[in-house]
């Protein structure tokens, strides 16, 4: 798991908390590799010190894929702060990701 500091801008309700992200991938596939590179780049550029990113390979942890009811991979899930948001694909749509990650933050 990659963790960043606990600095955060935004609503008082979430003050001092970090954004929790989970990226579910399928091994070292090209889409998985691109998704990892893209989300790390975006988070470091726009949310440095304000996020925790956990990368989960569903080949190694299939029970988590069932628990999260994943329908397509790679999938990024923002679990905190609310609302929960999900993105599918290689995370190349930077503007869409930034807008969604900024909600309630």
CATH of the domain at 41: 3.40.30.10
Give how many domains the chain has, as a whole number.
Answer: 1
Rg over alpha carbons for the chain, rounded to the nearest Å, is 13
pLDDT of 86 > 60? The answer is yes
* Predicted confidence (pLDDT) per residue in 10-63, tens digit: 444 555 689 999 999 999 999 999 999 999 999 999 999 999 999 999 999 998
Structural domain boundaries, residue 36: 2-102
Q: How confident is the model at residue 3 (pLDDT cuts 50, 70, 90)?
A: very low
CA 84 to CA 9: how far, in whole Å?
Answer: 18
Contact between 8 and 15 under an 8 Å Cβ cutoff? The reply is: yes
The neighbouring-strand residues paired with 3 are 52
Helices of type H across the chain: 30-46, 62-68, 94-102
End-to-end Cα separation, the chain, in angstroms: 21
């Amino acid at each position: 798991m990659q963790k960043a500091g606990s600095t955060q801008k935004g609503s008082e309700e979430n003050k001092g908390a970090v954004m929790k992200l989970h990226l579910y991938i399928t091994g070292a596939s090209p889409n998985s590799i691109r998704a990892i590179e893209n989300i790390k780049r975006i988070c470091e550029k726009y949310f440095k010190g304000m996020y925790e990113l956990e990368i989960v390979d569903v080949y190694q942890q299939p029970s988590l894929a069932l628990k999260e009811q994943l329908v397509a991979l790679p999938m990024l899930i923002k679990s905190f702060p609310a609302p929960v948001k999900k993105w599918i694909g290689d995370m190349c749509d930077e503007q869409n990701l930034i807008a969604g990650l900024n909600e309630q933050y």
